[in-house]
Amino acid sequence: MEVLEVGAPDPALAAALAAAKYQPLRLPAGAERDAFLAEHGPSVTAAVVAGPPGVDGHLMKTLPNLGAIVNYGAGYDLVDVEEAQRRGIGVSNTPDVLNDSVADTAVGLVLATMRGLCAADRYVRAGRWPVEGPLALTRDVSGAQVGILGLGRIGAAIASRLLGFDCAISYHNRRQVPDCPYRYAGSPVELAESVDVLVVAVSGGNATRGLVSRQVLEALGEAGYLINVARGSVVDQDALVELLVSGRLAGAGLDVYTDEPHVPSALREQGNVVLLPHVGSATARTRAAMAALALRNLDEYLTRGTLTTPVLRPRRSR
């Protein structure tokens, strides 16, 4: 039985696999891939996904004995879950252990974007303060109307932090959360048009692709801010760029993009946009916890045929 690792190497995951005496095969890119899969594909029983290209239906077809896909992260949009279900392949993720770090990142983006902190840092570093004087006034985070799109584990952690800033919280989910203290909006558009800042915290995948549409962004308006710590696919990035460049949005704080690691130059040139390189969960403690949970899922599947934190339960035998 072989374990296949898919995606860019991650130090925390590599350390966890090595400590457990795993020596996974690594999926190559380019011309080497087909020959590699022809040789090793039939022996692979579990795959660990650490990033693109993920595991799609075509790759599953070349791994006839694959029984489980262990995702290193809470989001599993890089896995074709529908095809995995059809084939009886289990899928796991690493929920909860990254809630705090992603929520902290979201709040940091809210502060940096609304207060213009990164632009102010660049202003001082460029020596412009003595020459040009004070910067223009910015917006208070305290007391702001904040909309959370996706009040799951991470969304709830973001909301609880923003309560410390006396923010008024609203949210939208596919279904209203029972006994939730926050105001529920019936649609993303309704949520956007009622808040100062919209924080996107939904899961990725086909169900949420383009959820933050041009209509949602226009509803947010020229005084509104967008914060995205979810997935780039959730937001209509072309519309976002157009509205920012034309001044029909006040600003944006982004940790994710539609074609990572490539970020449009129009976004990079906007002084009212804060850009992070997908670092929402990138702390040593959190990545170690994610790696440990991914390893528990892998161990459990290879020894008992079950998963610790299943998104889909495996139906195939080991």
Write out the catalytic residue numbers.
231, 260, 278
CA neighbor of 197 nearest in space, from 107, 66, 68, 82:
107
Whole-Å CA distances, 197 to 86, 191, 297 = 40, 10, 37
Question: In this structure, are residues 56 and 279 in contact, taking their beta carbons and an 8 Å threshold?
Answer: no
Cα–Cα distance measured from residue 308 to residue 318, given in angstroms and rounded to the nearest whole number:
15
Cα–Cα distance measured from residue 11 to residue 165, given in angstroms and rounded to the nearest whole number:
35
Whether the ω angle into residue 9 lies within 30 degrees of 0, i.e. cis, is no
Beta pairing, strands 44-49 & 2-6: parallel
CA neighbor of 172 nearest in space, from 162, 157, 182:
182
List 225's β-bridge partners, or say none: 197, 251
By three-state DSSP, how is residue 212 classified? strand
